[in-house]
Structure 1
Amino acid sequence: MKFWKIFSFEFAYQIRRPWPWLVFVVLIIFAFFNTRVGILPVTLPKDFILNSPFIITAVTVFSCQIWLLLAAAVPGEASARDVHTRMYPLLYTSPISRAEYLGGRFLAAFTIHAIILLGTQVGSLLAVYAPGMNPDIVGPFRPEAYLAAYGYIGLSNAFIATVVQFSLALLSRRPMVGYFGSLLLFFLSYPVTFTLYMNGLGKRALMADPIGIMAIMNEMMTEWTIVEKNVRMFTLEGAMLWNRLLWLGIAVAMGAFIYLRFRFVHHTGGWSWKWKFGNKTSNEKKESEPIRPFPLPTPTNSYSFSTHLWQTLATARSSFWMIVTSPAGLFLLVVFPVMLTLIVLIELEHWGIPLLPRTPHLLTKHLTGILTTPSNYWVMVPLFTVYFAGELIWRERDAGLNENIDATPVPEWVLFVGKFIGLGLVLALLMVIIALVGITVQVVNGYYDFQIGRYLQVLLGFQLTDYLLFAALAFTVQVVVNQKYVGYVLALVAYFCIIFSSFIGVEHNLLVYASGPAWSFTEMRGFGGTVGPWLWLRLYWFAWALLLALVARLFWMRGRESGSRVRFQLAKRRFTRSSVGVAVAAGVLILTLGSFIFYNTNVLNEHLTDEEMVQRRADYERLYGKYEGIAQPQRTATKLQIEIYPEKKAATIRGSYRLVNRDAKPIKAIHVEPAFYVETRITFDHPARAMVTDEKRGHFIYALDQPLQPGDSLTLNFDVKYERRGFRTSSSSPLGGPRRSGAGTAVLENGSYFPDGALPVIGYQPMRELWSAEDRRKQGLPRQVTLEAPGDIDQGMASVPAATFEAIISTDAGQVAVAPGELRRTWSKEGRSYFHYVSDVPINGTDVFFSADYKVYREKRNQVDLQLFLHPGHTKHAERLLRSARAALDYYSAQFGPYPYRYLQIVEQPGNFMGMGVDGSGVITGGEGFFLLDPQGEGFDAMFEIVAHEMGHQWWGMQLKPAFAEGGGVISESLAWYSAMQLVKKEKGREALRRFMAWMREPNPWPPIRTGLPLLRAMDPWANYRKGPYAMHALSEYAGEERVNVALRSLVQKKASSLATTLDMYRELQVVTPDSLKPMLHDLFETNTFWTFDTKQASVKQTGKGAWQVTLEVDAHKTVSDSAGYEKEVPVNQWVEIGLFAAAEPGEILGKPLYVQKHFIRKGLQTITVTLPSKPARGGIDPYNLLDWEEGDNIEKIQPL
C-alpha cells in the first residue's frame, strides 16, 4: 500500500514539473525533423517506405540518444531529492521499507521516462501523416511497427538509463549526478562504440552500445533487404537480443547493488575526493589538549576594484577546485584523456598499416573537434560544459548558502566572471592534458618531433576559444532561465540547434552561434589562409559572448524573489552607465564585424543557402536540360599558359581548345560552361555572338555566324583569372558555388592545387542537375532514371575522344609546377620558374595543376618518364611508390596492352586526404595523409597495393572507358583491383596476396551485402570494390590467369574507340573459359550467387611408412539472391579446391601448401579422403576463399586419430 502511495506522490510531483513535458516536446520535434529532413531524402531513390518498421526503428533509436541527454533530471530528483531538500531525517524514521521507498520512486521515474519516450512515436506519426508528405512513400498504417520500436527499444533503454541515473544520484545523494550517468552512457553509445566499430572490433562494438544503435543499424542496414526493410517487423533477435540481455543484466545487477547498499541512516558527508596526507581531524585530537584562544583579525572594509579582482580570483579558484575534485571533473580530466590515449593508439593506423604520429595529423584528426560538428568523442566536452555550468551557477543554492552569499557586498559580475574563469581554467587544463596525450602517443610510437608550440597554438588557441564561447552561452542560459533542470534542457537544445542548424534552415555563420569557417593545418600548406576568416568570426562571436555575459550579470539571481517581474526590475536597476557602455561596445563590435564579414561573404563572394542551391540546380535543368545530347564540337587539342603567383594567392590561365565537329550535321551554336569560382572571358577564331550569357547558372550559348560543318574545326580561346577576394562562409557545390569567390584556397604560399573544373567545358553538364529525389519532387522535376542496363547501351557508342595537351606553367622561384604531360624543359626568368609539359599522345580525364616546394624523383622506365613529386618531409617511402609503379608498368603492359603515354606522374596533393586517386591520363595523386602510412617489414604493404590499383586505372578507366550504365564500376574499379591482386602475387608471392585479400575482406568501409544486382549490373560500392575483384580472382585461379588476362587484353583492343559495358567483358571471358567452368562463370557474373563452405571435421592417421591419410568432412551450400533479397538454395555440383597445409611459420596465414587440388563437390555433408607423404597441420575446403568470401570455418586444425 505504501509502495503505491510513494509511487503516486512521486509521479504526481514529477509530472507537474515543466522539464518532463519540455523534453517530450523536444523529442516530438526531433523525431519529426529526423524523419522528414534526415531520412526522407534517402527514401525515394532507395524505394523505402517512410513509415516502414526499419525507418520507425531507426528514428526511435536515434531519438533515444537525444532523450538520454535531456531527461536525466527525473530519476535524479526521484532518488536524491529528499537528501537535497534535507527532508530525509523525517522520511528515514518513517515506518516504510527499503523496497517501498526505493521501488515506488524508481517506478515513478521509469514511468515518466516511458511517457516522455512516447514523444518519439508521436513525432514519427506527425512526420508521416501531417500535411506536405508525398503519398507515394507512405505505406499502410501498422501500429505494431510503432509498438515494437517503442517496446523493444524505447522501454528497454528507459529501464537501463533510469537504473543508471537513479543509482548514481542515490549513491552520491545529489540529483544532478544522474546527468553524469547519462553522459557515461552516451560516451559508451557514441564515441566508444563508434571507435571500436571503425577499428575492426565490430562484435565488441555491438555489445558495448547501451542504446543499441550499432546493433540495430549494423544488422538491419547491412543484412536486411529493401523488401525486408519495408515489411519485416523489428524483433529482438541476433545481435540486438544479446545486446539487450547484456545491458538489462548490467542494469539489474547495478540496481540490486544499490538496493542492498542503501540504508536509512544519517549521512555524515558526501563523496570525498580529497587526499588526506595523514592530517588528523578534529575528532582525533586528544581531549586533554588545551584550547588556546587567539585574537580575531580586525576586518577592513574595502570595496575597491582591486578587492573585486581578488574576490574574482578567489571565486575562480574555488570553482576550479570544485570541478576538478568532482566525479565528473575527474572523469573529464583523467578517465577521458586515458581513454583518448588508448583510442588514438588504436586508431593510429589506416588499412591495417601504422601511421606516422606527426603532430599536424594528431591535432587535426584526433585531438580537436569542431564545436558545430558532433564528431566522435569531442562531442563530450560541450556536454560536460553544460553540466559544469549548471553546477557552478546553482552551487550556493544547492548548498543552502545562497542567502549568505547574496548578502555579501560582492558585485554580480564578480560571481559570474569568477565562476566562468573557473570553468575556463578547467577547459584550459583539459587542453594541456590533451597535448600531453598527443605527446604520449608519439613517445609510445618512437616519434620525438613533438612541436609543442603547435600543440599549444592549436589547443589553447583554436580549440579552447570555441569551448569558452559555448561556456558563455551555457552560463547565460542557466542564469536567465533560473530553473536548473530546465536550464540544462534548454542549453542542450541550444547546442543541438547549433550542430543541426542547417536542418532548420539557418546556415549563415553570422546566424549560428560560435560557428565560422573551420581552420585547417597541413604540413604542405600550413594553415593555408584559414586563420584570418576563423579569427574574424571568433571576434564577432566574442562580441556576442560579451553581450551574453552582460545579460547574465543583469539577471543574476540574488535574494529570495525569483519572479520574472522582480528580476526584470532588478535588471533595469543594474543597467547602469557602465552596463550601457559594455552594451554599446558589444553592439558596435557586432555591427562592425558583422558588416565586414557580410561584405566578404555576401558581396565579394556569393553566399547561397541549401535551398537557393536547390533552386539554382532546378532552374539550370529546366532552362538548359533540353540541350543535353545535342551535337557539340569535341576537343582535340589543349594549349595553356598558366601563371601561378603563390605569394599573391592569384593565378591566370590563358588557353585554347581546338574543337572539331565529328557529327554528321553542321553545328550552329556552341554551349560553354565556365567554372564558377573564377572569372572567365571566352572568344572564338570564327565570328560568333553570345545568345545566352547566364552567369548565374553558368551556361553560355554562342551562335556561329557560319555553322561548323562536319569535319571542320575552330579554336576557342579563354582567359581565366583566379583572384582571392575576401573569404567565404563555407565551400559550396560547383553549380551553386560562388561566382566571384576567387581562387579560395586553390592558390597558397605552398601547395597550390587547381582541381578538376577550373577550365571551361563544352556542352550541357548533367552532373550539375538536381540529384536528390525529394528535392526533385518538390521542384516538380521528373524522377531521374536510374542507370541503363548494359544491354540497352548502343554497343557502337563512341567514347569522348582524348586531346593532345601542352602547357607552359610558371610559379615563384623555389617551387615546382606540375601539369599533365612529359616535361620537355624548364627555365628561369625574372625570378620565376617555368615548366613546359607536353603530351603528343591524346589524353583524357581531368586538367589538374600543382605548385609546391616538391622533392622530385625522376627516372626512365620503358621509354616512360616516371615522375614522383613529394613534400620534402614525406619521402620516407618514395622507393615503395616507385617500385610499385615500375612493376605495374611492366606487368600491365605485358598483360593488358602497352602503356600509351610518355609520362607517369605521382603527385602529392595538399590536404589531409588519406587515399589516392586518378586525375587523368598518366596522373595519380595522393593526399598528404596517404604519406603518413608507415609499412613495416614485409607485411601488408598498402602503399604498394594502392599504387598498383591506381595504376590499373590507366588501363581500366583511361584506355578502356566504361559506359554510363549499370556495371560501369565493375569495368573500372573491379578490374583495377583485380590487376593489383595479380601484380602482388607476381611480385611478392601468394602469401602476400593472402594478406592483401584478408585486408580487403575487412567490413570497412564497405560491409558485405548479399542483396542487390548481379555483377553484370552491379552499382553498389561493395560489388565494385570487393565482390568484382573476388570474382575475377576466382576465375583466374580456376580458368587460369593467362586466359583471363588474354580476354581483358582483347577487350581493351576491341573497345579502344567506343564505350565498354560488362557485357563486352563477359563475352570475352566466355571465350576463354572452358566449358566445364561455364556454370561457375555464370554464377559469378550473371546471378547473385553465394557459396558457404564449412569443414566440420578434419582427422589424420598414418597408414604406412611415410603415408598419411587425411579425412575431411565438409558441408557445402549455394544460394542465389535476387535484387529484392529473396534467397533460394540451389545444388552445388561443381569443382572446388581442397587444401592441406603444413604448420604455419611466423607471419604466414596458412602455412606451406602440401596438397591443393579441385574435387567435385555436391550439396550438403560429404567426406573427402586424401593420402599425403607428410603429415599436415591444417586443412579444409576452399582454403583461399575463392568462392566462399567469408573467412572463418573453411579451414580447421587436423586432429590425429
Structure 2
Amino acid sequence: MLGNILKFELRYHTKQVTAIVSALLFFLLGMVIVQGSFGGSEVHKNAPYVINVAVCFLSLFSIFVCTLLCGNVVLRDITYKTDELLFTTSIQRVTYFVSRFTGLFATVFAILCLAVLGTSTGAMFASADRLGAFDPMHFLWPVLVFGLPNVLFCTSVLFSIALLSGSLRAVYVVGVALFILYFVASILGDSPMMASSVMDPDGPDLLSLLLDPFGMTSFFWETRSWSVLQRNHQLFQPGAVFLANRGVWVAVSVALLVLSYMFFPFHPVLPKPVKSKSKAPDHVVVLPYQTFPVLPKGFLYYKNVFLSQLRLDMSGVFQHILFLLVLGLWVFLFGVELKENIFYGPYGVRFYALTGIIVEELVSIKPALLLLIFYASELIYREKAANMQMLVYSTPVPDAVLWSAKYTTLAALIGILITVNISIGLALQLVSNQPVVDWIAYISLYYYSGLPLLLFAVLIVFIQTVTPNKYLGILLSLVAIGITIFGRKLGISHYLLRYATVPNLEYSDMNGFGHYAKAFNWYMLYWSLLAVLLGFLSAGIWKNIGYDAWWKRVRAMGENWNVTAKLVLITSTLLWAGTGIYIWQNTNNVSVMRDRKDLGLQAEYERKYQRHAHLPQPIITAVKTTVDLYPDEAKYIVKGSYRLQNKSNVPIDKFWIGADPEVNTLKISINDAQQQSVDEEFKQYWYQLKKPMLPGAEMTLDFSMEVVRSGFVPFNSENSVVSNGTYIELEKYVPYFGYRAGYEISDPVLRKEKGLKTSVESAIPDPDCHLIDFETIISTEADQHVVTVGALQKEWITGDRKYFSYKSEQPIHFMFALSSARYAVKNEAHNGTKFRIYYQPGHASNVPAMMLAMQDAIDYGKAQFSDYQFRHIALAEIPQYPGSATAYPGVIFSKERFNFATDFRDATKFDFTYATTAHEVAHQWWANQLSPLDTGGSLFLESLAKYTEAMVAEKRFGKMNLKSYLEADNALYFNIRSAVGEKELPLNRGSEQTFVYYQKGGLVLYAIQEALGEKHVSEALQRLLQKHGYPNKKAAPDDLMAELKRSTTSAQARLIDDYLKKVITYDNKVKLVKSQTSSNGNLRLTLKIDVKKTDETDALPKHLKPDDDIAVAVFDQSEAQWNRATKPVHFQKHHFTKNETILTIEVNKNAKMIILDPFVNQLDEERSDNVVQLQ
C-alpha cells in the first residue's frame, strides 16, 4: 500500500501548476545565478566554489517552494474538507506520514536538482576563458553537502508545522521565519553576502556558525583564505565546524519529524462544543412583525459595509497568535541587524545611536514584501476558505468597497511594521543614552518606506486576483517582486520599468534624504497612477474571484464600470503616461556616456580615441574660476580660465579638449583657434590653432559650463549638489586635455568580451610634476559657508547670495574640491599654523579628537619629513555617503558617519576618528609634496599615509593601544583579499588592490620601521622628498626602496624586498612546552615556535625556509586588563631559521600571556595560535 500511495503523492505533486511553474523558474534561476561574480573575476563560472555558492542560495530559495507545496498539498485534506473521509479508510498512520513527507521532500529536492542543472546549462553561455574543465562532482558534491541537508531541514520544519497545526497560516509564518532565521544567522556570522558585513577581524564565534541552518556562514568562514587556484579546482572539504553545523541541523530535522509523527492528530479535528451559560428566560416577549427599509447604496451604506468588512479582515489578521509571533520575529530581526550595524563596525568602530543613522538603516524593509504576499493571499481567499464566497459576493456591495477593505488591512499591516521599526530605533536610542530624537526623520519613514510598500500591495492583490489559484498567485508575486528588486542584474536598469522601485535612499543629518528626495516624489507619483489602474482592474473582477475561471474574470473586467470610473481610468492613464515622459526626459537629458560603468561606451571610447593618447597637448599652469552654487535647484555654473603652456619639445597645432559626461553644457573660447570637430556622444572637442603653439609658449583658454545634479540622474558622491552639504571635486568636471585613461576597462576578461586587447597599452608616463596657481570666487546661499583649497581672502553678502574668495598661497596640484553647508566652526592656532574644523551643529563630539589629530600629524610631519607648506589647514564635514575622508591641499573633507558620528568615549578602544584624520593630514606630504608616477603610486599616496597614521597614533596613545589597530588591519587584509578573489600583486608593481596598498602597505612599512628604526625610515623619506618633491622628477617605487636600503645590512635589504617586491605570508604558532621556576626565582618558560613562510608572488605558492627576526613578548596581565600604560615584562626578537624551534626564556614576574609577533610584523592570517594563555 505504501508504494501505491507514494506513487500517487508524487503524481499529485508533479501535476500541480505550482510545482510545474516552480520547476521552470528554478531552472531559469539556476542559469541566471551562475552568472554572478562569486569568488572574484578570475574564478571560473563553473568552478566548484561558484557552484557551492549557487547551490547554497538555491537551497535557501527552496523555502518558498516548500512553503507553497506544503500548504497546497500536505494540507489538502483540511483545505477541501476531506479529512473526515480520509481517516475512515484503512491507511495506517506510518503510511500516511511517510508518503506525505516523502512526496514533499522528493518534489522540492527534484526542483533543486533541476536548478543545479540550470547552473551547468547557464555556465555554457560564458566565454571559453571563463570556464574550467567540466567535472560532474563539482555539481554533485554541493548538492549532497548543502542541497540535501538544507531541503531536509526546510521540509521537515514546514511539514511538522503543517501536521501539528493543520493551519495554512502557520505554515506561511514559519516559512517567513526560516528566511528571517537565515538573515539573523548571516548578520551574526558576518556573512560576506550581507551588504552590511564589516568582516570582523576576530571572525564569528562558534555559536554564530552553528546557528546558520543552511551552513553558508561556516562555508564562507572555512573558505575565506582560498586562493583563486583553490576556488577554481578544489572541492569543499568540510571542516570540524561545518560538520558540526550539518550534524546539528540534520539532528534537528530528524527530531522534528519524530516528534511530529508521535503527536500529530491522525483523526479529524472537531470543533470543541461551546457550553452555554445562559438560562432559559422565564417569560418570552413576543415582538410584533414589522418591515425595515433597506437601501443598499449611498455613502452611509457603503461606509458601514466597508467598516464591517474591515473589522472582519483586521481581526482575522491581527487578532491571531501567529501575528504576534510574526511581530516578535520582526523585532528580533531588525533589532539584531540595527544593533550589529551601529555597535559593531570595522576597527571596532561603534556609532552614536543618532536618529539619522537609525533611519538610514530602517528605510529599506524589503522583508515586509514576504509578509504582504502571504497575508494578501490569506485575505483575498478568506471568504473562499470559509465557503462564504457565494454569500458574500451575491450581496449588492460594490466591488471597490470589498477591495478597499482588503487593501486597507494590508496598509494597516505596513503601518504596524513601520511603527515597530520606529519603536526599535527609539528603544536603541534609549538604552544608548542618546537624548536627541529627530521625530520628523522617524515620521518620514511612513512616507519613504511605507509608500513603496503600499504600491507593492496593490500589485500583489492584482496578481492574486487574476491568477487561477492562491498558490500560483503567491509564486507569481514572488517572481514579480524578485524581477523588480533584482532588475538591474537582469538588465532592467531604468526605474521606469521596475515597479515601485527607486534609487537607494541615503539619509544624512545634514540634508535628510538629499539627492533623490525630489525624484522619489515623481517616481512615486508615476507608480501610484499605475497602481490606480491596477486597483480598478482588480476591483472590476473582484466578485468573480471566488468561483469563476481566471480567464472569465479577466474577460469580465470592466463590465460594471460607470462613466465616473471610466473617466478616472482615462485620466489616470494620461497622467501616468505624462509623468513617465517627464521622468524619461529628466533621466536621459544628459550625455550618452553618463554612466561611467557602461562597458560598451567605455570600450567604444577606447577604440575611438586611444590611438591619439600620445598627441602632445598643453599643460595647465593656472586656474581661475567663478562658481555659482544653487543647492535648491541642484545645479552649479562655472566660469573659468586656464593659463596654458607648451612644455613639450614640439609645436602644438591642435587642442584636444574633453568634458566629463556629467557636464550638461560647455562653452569654450580660445583666441586664434577655430573649432574643428565635436563629438557630442563622448563630449570631445577639437580646435585647430591658427598659429602653432611653440615650445614654452603660453595661451589662455576661457570656458563656461553648467552641471545639473537633480535626483533623476545617478547619484555621484563626488559631484553632489544638495540643500545642505554640497560636495564637488571640481577638478574632475572642468575641461581636460587629451586622452582619459581612466575611462578604459581594466579587467582583462571584460576587455576580451568587448573585443579589446587583453592588456591596456600603457601610455608613456609623464615624469614631471605639474602644479598650478589657483584662484576662485564661489557663491552660495546666504546662510551657508564654502570651504575649498587655498587661503580665504574675503567673504561678503550680496542680496541673498554669499561670496567667498580663495587663493592658493603657493602652487598646488590640479585639485580643488569644495563644500557648502550650514556649518559651525572650531578655530585653534598651534605652532604657527591655523587649524579650523567646519562641522554640522550637533556633531561636535569628535571635534576635539580630530583637532588633536590634525595638530599631532602636522607636528610629526614637520619633525620627521619636511616643513608643512601652508600656514593653515581646514577640515570640513560632508554627508555620510560611502567612504571616510578625502585630502586636498590644505583642506580635508571628512564624511559624517565614520568620523563625526563614531563613539569613542571608551578610552581603551583605538580611536579610528583620530587615526583617519591623521591619515588625511599625512596626505599633505604623501600626495601634495611628493607626486609619484602612476605605476606604483598607491605605495606613496596611501601606504606612506597609513604608516604616518600609525606612527602619529603610537606617539599619542602608545604602542599597546596601536596593537588592536594593527591586528585589525592584518585581519582585514586577509578577509578582503579572500573576498576579492584576485591574484595579489606586490606593492612595487602598481597594484590597485585596496587591501594591498591600504592594509598591507601600512603594516609592512610599520614593520620595516620596527626593523630599521624610526630614525632610519624618517631620514629615507626626507631624502625622498628632497629628490622627488616639486619641481623634481616624480618618484617610483624603486626610489623609495633605494632610500630605505641605504646603509642597511643584507638581511635588512632582503626584508625590504620581501615586503615590497614579493607577496609573503606566514603561519606562525607558539606552544608552551614547559613552565618551571628556576633556582634564582625566575619563571623559566620553554616554548615551541613554528614558523611557516610562503611566497605567493608567482602563480603557484612555494614554501620558503624562514630567515626572520620575530619578537616574543610576555605580559603579566590578561588582555582584558591592558591599558595604554601596559608594557610587556619580557620583549625580545629572536632569529628563526627552522620551521620548528624550541626556545627557552626567563621572566622575573608572574606571566599571564605569551604572544609571538605582538605588533604584527608578519602577515599571518590565523593569529589566534600566536597567543598562549597561562594559568
Fold shared, TM-score > 0.5 on shorter chain:
yes
Partner of 2:194: none
Letter in 1 for 2:473: G
SS at match of 1:573: coil
Residue pairs, 1:56-67, within 5 angstroms: 56-67=51-62
Question: Cα offset for 1:667?
Answer: 1.4
Question: Cα offset for 1:1003?
Answer: 3.8
Question: Cα offset for 1:488?
Answer: 0.6
Compare 660-669 and 751-760 and name the one that shifted more.
751-760
Q: 2:357 aligns with which of 357, 361, 368?
A: 361
Partner of 2:604: 619
In the alignment, is the contact (CA less than 8 A) between 2:180 and 2:329 conserved in 1?
Answer: no
Question: Cα offset for 1:1166?
Answer: 3.6
For the residues of structure 2 that align with 1:68 and 1:1005, how far apart are their CA atoms? 33
Question: Cα offset for 1:392?
Answer: 0.7
Partner of 2:705: 720
Partner of 1:901: 870
Letter in 2 for 1:541: W
Partner of 1:375: none
For the residues of structure 2 that align with 1:448 and 1:292, how far apart are their CA atoms? 66
Residues 1063 and 653 (structure 1 numbering): CA distance in 2 closer, same or farther, change over 3 Å? same
Q: 2:915 aligns with which of 929, 941, 945?
A: 945
For the residues of structure 2 that align with 1:611 and 1:1109, how far apart are their CA atoms? 64
Output one character per residue of 1:997-1034: Cα deviation in whole Å (capped at 9) or x when no partner: 24434549944559633443354322222222222222
Residue pairs, 1:418-567, within 5 angstroms: 418-456=405-443, 458-517=444-503, 519-528=505-514, 530-558=516-544, 561-564=547-550, 566-567=552-553
Letter in 2 for 1:333: L
Partner of 1:1026: 999
SS at match of 1:571: coil
Residues 928 and 1174 (structure 1 numbering): CA distance in 2 closer, same or farther, change over 3 Å? closer
Compare 694-703 and 468-477 and name the one that shifted more.
694-703
Letter in 1 for 2:1025: V
Letter in 2 for 1:1033: Y
In the alignment, is the contact (CA less than 8 A) between 1:662 and 1:711 conserved in 2?
Answer: yes
Question: Cα offset for 1:854?
Answer: 1.6
Partner of 1:302: 295
Residues 961 and 1114 (structure 1 numbering): CA distance in 2 closer, same or farther, change over 3 Å? farther
In the alignment, is the contact (CA less than 8 A) between 2:746 and 2:760 conserved in 1?
Answer: no
Compare 748-757 and 311-320 and name the one that shifted more.
748-757
Residues 483 and 438 (structure 1 numbering): CA distance in 2 closer, same or farther, change over 3 Å? same
SS at match of 1:60: helix
Residue pairs, 1:394-793, within 5 angstroms: 394-456=381-443, 458-517=444-503, 519-528=505-514, 530-558=516-544, 561-564=547-550, 566-568=552-554, 570-571=556-557, 573-602=559-588, 604-605=589-590, 613-646=598-631, 649-683=634-668, 686-722=671-707, 728=712, 730-731=714-715, 745-746=720-721, 748=723, 751=726, 753=728, 755-771=730-746, 776-785=751-760
For the residues of structure 1 that align with 2:708 and 2:883, how far apart are their CA atoms? 29
Letter in 1 for 2:329: V
In the alignment, is the contact (CA less than 8 A) between 1:637 and 1:659 conserved in 2?
Answer: yes
Q: 1:283 aligns with which of 259, 275, 278?
A: 275
Residues 941 and 292 (structure 1 numbering): CA distance in 2 closer, same or farther, change over 3 Å? farther
Compare 421-430 and 198-207 and name the one that shifted more.
198-207
Q: 2:252 aligns with which of 250, 253, 259?
A: 250
In the alignment, is the contact (CA less than 8 A) between 2:17 and 2:472 conserved in 1?
Answer: yes
Q: 1:1016 aligns with which of 985, 988, 1002?
A: 988
Question: Cα offset for 1:554?
Answer: 2.1
SS at match of 2:548: coil
In the alignment, is the contact (CA less than 8 A) between 1:69 and 1:186 conserved in 2?
Answer: no
SS at match of 1:844: coil
In the alignment, is the contact (CA less than 8 A) between 2:874 and 2:892 conserved in 1?
Answer: yes
Partner of 1:229: 231
SS at match of 2:810: strand
Q: 1:207 aligns with which of 210, 214, 218?
A: 210
Gaps of 5+ in 2: 191-196
Residues 571 and 118 (structure 1 numbering): CA distance in 2 closer, same or farther, change over 3 Å? same
SS at match of 1:917: strand
In the alignment, is the contact (CA less than 8 A) between 2:225 and 2:975 conserved in 1?
Answer: no
For the residues of structure 2 that align with 1:61 and 1:635, how far apart are their CA atoms? 55
Output one character per residue of 1:777-806: Cα deviation in whole Å (capped at 9) or x when no partner: 454222343989xxxx97xx5144121211
Residue pairs, 1:1036-1075, within 5 angstroms: 1036-1056=1009-1029, 1057-1075=1032-1050
For the residues of structure 1 that align with 2:614 and 2:240, how far apart are their CA atoms? 51
In the alignment, is the contact (CA less than 8 A) between 1:920 and 1:958 conserved in 2?
Answer: yes
Q: 2:373 aligns with which of 360, 377, 386?
A: 386
Normalised by the length of structure 1, the TM-score is 0.90
In the alignment, is the contact (CA less than 8 A) between 2:785 and 2:823 conserved in 1?
Answer: yes
Is 2:149 aligned against 1:163?
A: no
For the residues of structure 1 that align with 2:1086 and 2:151, how far apart are their CA atoms? 51
Question: Cα offset for 1:196?
Answer: 4.2
In the alignment, is the contact (CA less than 8 A) between 1:522 and 1:910 conserved in 2?
Answer: yes
Partner of 1:936: 905
How many residues are matched?
1151
- Percent sequence identity over matched residues? 25
Residue pairs, 1:1-16, within 5 angstroms: 2-16=1-15
For the residues of structure 1 that align with 2:1170 and 2:408, how far apart are their CA atoms? 62
In the alignment, is the contact (CA less than 8 A) between 1:1095 and 1:1194 conserved in 2?
Answer: yes
Normalised by the length of structure 2, the TM-score is 0.92
For the residues of structure 1 that align with 2:677 and 2:421, how far apart are their CA atoms? 57
In the alignment, is the contact (CA less than 8 A) between 2:1069 and 2:1170 conserved in 1?
Answer: yes
In the alignment, is the contact (CA less than 8 A) between 1:628 and 1:764 conserved in 2?
Answer: yes
For the residues of structure 2 that align with 1:183 and 1:888, how far apart are their CA atoms? 52
For the residues of structure 1 that align with 2:423 and 2:1126, how far apart are their CA atoms? 43
Partner of 1:262: 264
Partner of 2:312: 318
Output one character per residue of 1:24-62: Cα deviation in whole Å (capped at 9) or x when no partner: 1112222222334x349x97xx43322222222233223
For the residues of structure 1 that align with 2:516 and 2:283, how far apart are their CA atoms? 66
Residues 617 and 1038 (structure 1 numbering): CA distance in 2 closer, same or farther, change over 3 Å? closer
For the residues of structure 2 that align with 1:265 and 1:634, how far apart are their CA atoms? 90
Question: Cα offset for 1:1098?
Answer: 6.2
SS at match of 1:48: coil
For the residues of structure 1 that align with 2:730 and 2:54, how far apart are their CA atoms? 38
SS at match of 2:1168: coil
Question: Cα offset for 1:69?
Answer: 2.5
Partner of 1:1117: 1091
Residue pairs, 1:183-202, within 5 angstroms: 183-190=176-183, 192-194=185-187, 196-197=189-190, 198=197, 200=200, 202=204
Is 2:871 aligned against 1:871?
A: no
Question: Cα offset for 1:992?
Answer: 1.7
SS at match of 2:1121: coil
Q: 1:1084 aligns with which of 1027, 1038, 1059?
A: 1059
Output one character per residue of 1:851-896: Cα deviation in whole Å (capped at 9) or x when no partner: 2222223344444443322122222221211110111011122212
Residues 1098 and 1007 (structure 1 numbering): CA distance in 2 closer, same or farther, change over 3 Å? farther
Question: Cα offset for 1:677?
Answer: 3.2
For the residues of structure 2 that align with 1:47 and 1:478, how far apart are their CA atoms? 43
In the alignment, is the contact (CA less than 8 A) between 2:1069 and 2:1090 conserved in 1?
Answer: yes
For the residues of structure 2 that align with 1:874 and 1:584, how far apart are their CA atoms? 51
Aligned CA RMSD, in angstroms, stands at 3.1
Letter in 2 for 1:1000: D
Residues 608 and 803 (structure 1 numbering): CA distance in 2 closer, same or farther, change over 3 Å? closer
Q: 1:980 aligns with which of 946, 949, 961?
A: 949
For the residues of structure 2 that align with 1:778 and 1:291, how far apart are their CA atoms? 93
Residues 786 and 979 (structure 1 numbering): CA distance in 2 closer, same or farther, change over 3 Å? farther
Letter in 1 for 2:1042: R
Question: Cα offset for 1:928?
Answer: 5.1
Question: Cα offset for 1:982?
Answer: 1.1
Residues 780 and 819 (structure 1 numbering): CA distance in 2 closer, same or farther, change over 3 Å? same
Q: 1:1131 aligns with which of 1105, 1114, 1124?
A: 1105
Residues 461 and 1030 (structure 1 numbering): CA distance in 2 closer, same or farther, change over 3 Å? same
